[in-house]
Homo-oligomer: A and B are copies of this chain.
């Protein structure tokens, strides 16, 4: 199965600050299913670059304002 990726995201917070947009509404806007939004928010797997870009666009922010790389160790 999929490992948890070393990437965290603020999708949930962004939804809240975006007029309490629901997962279903976000899913519809970016063209994926609600299951996908749930899985991304829960960090079960990281989305495709394409979905990531679409999410950032919906919220009008940069990709790295939504997703961030937080690998503890790495040379």
**Interface on A for B, CB 8 Å cutoff?**
5-7, 46-50, 52-53, 57, 62-64, 67, 69, 74
Contact = CB atoms under 8 A, between A and B. Distances in A.
A25 B48 CA distance: 24
Identical copies of this chain, number: 2
Nearest to A45: B48
9 contacts: A5-B49, A5-B50, A7-B53, A46-B48, A46-B49, A48-B49, A49-B52, A49-B67, A63-B63
Contacts of A6: 50
Contacts of A50: 5-7, 46
A53 B64 CA distance: 10
A25 to B, nearest CB: 16
